A and B are shown apart, each in its own frame.
Chain A
Amino acid sequence: MASERILPLQSAEEAVATGRRRRALSDTEFALAFGVPVLVFLVLVVAYPLGYAVWMSLHRIMFFGGYRSTFVGLRNFERVLVDAGFWWSSWVTVRLTAEAVVLTMLIGLGLALMLNRTRAARGLTRTLVFLPWCVSTYGAGLMFAYLARGQTGLGTSIAYALGYSQPVDLMTSGLVIEVLAVGAAWTMAPLVAFFLLANLQTIPKRLYDLAALDQLSPLETFWHVTLPPLRYTLFVFASIVTVLTMKLFDFVFVMTGGGPGTASATLTYQIYKISFENLDLGYGAAMSFYLLFLIIASTLLLYLVWGRREVLR
């Protein structure tokens, strides 16, 4: 038992001498040993649900009077394309995503620059900045609903403090997407900020000294010294935030419930309603594939217009 334990530390010659030589793994065997478990895991957690979703999207599924399913081919996919609710929700999703991505990146960048300069109480400041990322989106949804409503909200408090007597309601059909975007950015920006901060700290200080020697203005310094090393990280996080916002559900569900009316009914909310309120799982699955296409198309577009240049740079 003891000799087995020290065997890995023995030299090849010693191993030969003890007559217990082990055959070394080939590269392929080594790769398989590590790769197969991962592949099996991925098949279980990704491929199986995805395959099941494809199967559902091709069927009409009923739960009443016992479970039964009928093959309907591509009819569910056709129904989605003529559903006005789907097109409205697609527009809401795109609008929310565009606003949330821009806000998240701007706030994240602003926070990173601030944290990079802060010297006093650095640990405390960083903890406070990171906290919103730790709050559940469910909790954040409740909080933002409270803050955005006229009767309890921040807008009304400010308006009253300024002497106005009218409450300010931000949960209107015209503004609710913007409020959702602000809330989404509030939860995601800290993560972006910390990755950008890591990048900022790799910029050599002498570059700033040189910029000072060249008498660059603060804006020019930011543009020519600070921003270039951040661009790739910004692109990566723009892609991540795009995906996260398009998939956002619980925040929307808790904060607005898709309302007022259908003003904030994103695709995820629409899919939830169809699949779990109306129990039309086949149709819901078909719609979820359109959401998947939208996510892939958006990130691909982002790569083509921005990411490719950053990779080549």
Chain B
Amino acid sequence: MKRRDFAKLAGGTGLAVMTGPWPVKAANAWSLTASSGKPIYFRGWQYKTDVVQSFVDRYNKTMSGHVDYATITGDYPSIMEQKLIAGSELDVLYGNPSQAARYFDGGWVAPADELPNYAEIKAEFLPNLWDAWTYKGHLLGLSYFATTRGAIHVNLKAYQGAGMSDKDFPKTWDDLYDQIFALNAKGVKTPFLPHWFSEWYGISWAFVFEVLNRGGHIADDKTHKPLLTTNKNDLAYKTLAAWKKLWNSKMVPAEVLTYNEAAFIYAYGSGRYVFSPQQLYDLATFNTKGKSQIAGYDGLLPVQGQSWGLLDSALYLITKRKRPQPVTDDVMRFTSWYGFKDNSGQIAVASRWMQLSMLFSAYKSVMESPDAEARIKQSVARPSDARVVLDLYKATPFPSAIWKVAWSEEYNSWLKESLANFLLQNGDIESFIKSSNDKITALNEKYGI
């Protein structure tokens, strides 16, 4: 080696040592192989459980793991909360950000900051998801998926059949309602299937995202104090007025209030409706032959000034139950392997979900990969819609004021029931808004906020 080369190498090495991210170096040295020999309990809701099991099997086989995976049926948030309170055998679990914030305040989950490779994880995060998933300065968990719930899907066949084209696409919620009534007047019986189904992420989230999309706020982001007013120009007031008009028009089947998610997806996939707020990733389902009646004809309303839907996401959370340190170390290893990079340094699980179900990830290298682009292109009815998907996702808001707070789930439960009753009983808008504010005030008092 020449002296000059040696000097370059030594200088470069010295610089790397001085400026290099230490935790990343520590993480590189961190082995993901399980060592305690004890089981790790991993629980989640039911979604493609065979796929999850295959990932877990791979970890157990290649990393000497003893991960025990099972699903939870029924009321997932409540069941998990009871397990966490009881300190049951539960180490890693799925959770939405709102649940995660509550669990964090309850002292039942550990933040992902405690992972040895935290700095590397942070460097991979997309900024919008970093904001959504950090709470009180801590990262709540690792990325399972992210998407837009409430993206407005358009049955292009029915839309074009009614003499409409892309140029006519509504730009705002008010435009959308105007067009729904116009289509109905033209003879389209059921132009709209609203997001009013009976799951805990159904009608209540529909209200939240519509208010957000219109530019309104249900509560203050920092103080969590209620912000709705009974002024007719209040954006929540406008939302409720639009809902009432729609319900009373009888254009919407009343049974949507009793649908579970499968029935809701099935209804839109049947081709009976023109517009419906659905999960963004279900574009792949609706455009697949054999899975829907509108395969090849499902498009999206683009962002033209106003966003559509809200950021729906889930994380892998680590519990704080009492367990020996070697087991906790294994929990960290498994969570990192599963929720971030595997032993080959690939973000394998998140990439696989992207390919399988078009579940977006919080990690840049997954979202910016050519594979992701190809997958999105594969899911859309028209090549130009791929851009619409990404623009829509990028503009999706997150309801921090009511999701980054301990009472989130309780308010959501109240909202779900009260909104359905508001429609069924032809409720008064002002009373509803007042009740919502009272509920938030009472919850703030309950939790000392």
Contact = CB atoms under 8 A, between A and B. Distances in A.
A166 to B, nearest CB: 10
B253 A169 contact: yes
A260 B424 contact: yes
Interface stretch (A49-57, A250-258, A302-310): A250-258
Nearest to B425: A261
Interface stretch (A17-25, A90-98, A149-157): A149-157
A52 B53 CA distance: 40
B105 A151 contact: no
A260 B420 contact: yes
Given A171-B258, A277-B75, A278-B413, A257 B105 contact: no
B428 interface: no
Nearest to B420: A261
Contacts of A63: 85, 106
B41 interface: no
Interface in B32-84: 74-75, 77-78, 81-82
B367 interface: no
Interface in A131-174: 145, 149-152, 167, 169, 171-173
Interface residues of B, number: 33
A151 B417 CA distance: 23
A169 B255 contact: yes
Contacts of A30: none
Contact of A64 (B105, B413, B423): B105
Given A65-B107, A261-B425, A276-B82, A150 B75 contact: no
Contacts of A279: 81
Interface string B246-289: 00000001110111100100110010000000000000000000
A262 B417 contact: yes
A273 interface: yes
A263 interface: yes
A52 B106 CA distance: 23
B406 interface: yes
A65 B260 CA distance: 34
Determine chain B's interface SS by DSSP, over half rule.
Answer: helix
Interface residues of A, number: 30
B193 to A, nearest CB: 11
B255 A261 contact: no
A260 B78 contact: no
Given A173-B424, A259-B258, A262-B421, A66 B107 contact: yes
A263 B424 contact: yes
Given A167-B253, A260-B420, A151 B198 contact: no
Listed residue (B105, B255, B260, B410) with the most chain A CB atoms within 10 angstroms of its CB: B255
B234 interface: no
Contacts of A65: 107
A151 B258 contact: no
Given A169-B254, A172-B255, A151 B424 contact: no
Given A64-B447, A173-B424, A260-B424, A150 B253 contact: yes
Nearest to A65: B107
Given A172-B254, A277-B78, A261 B417 contact: yes
B198 A259 contact: yes
Contact of B255 (A64, A151, A258, A265): A151
A276 B78 contact: yes
Given A167-B253, A172-B254, A256-B258, 8 more contacts: A64-B105, A145-B260, A151-B253, A151-B266, A152-B266, A258-B417, A260-B420, A263-B424
16 contacts: A63-B85, A64-B105, A149-B258, A150-B253, A167-B253, A169-B253, A169-B255, A171-B258, A173-B424, A260-B254, A260-B258, A261-B421, A261-B424, A265-B417, A277-B410, A278-B413
Interface of A: 63-66, 145, 149-152, 167, 169, 171-173, 176, 253, 256-263, 265, 273, 276-279
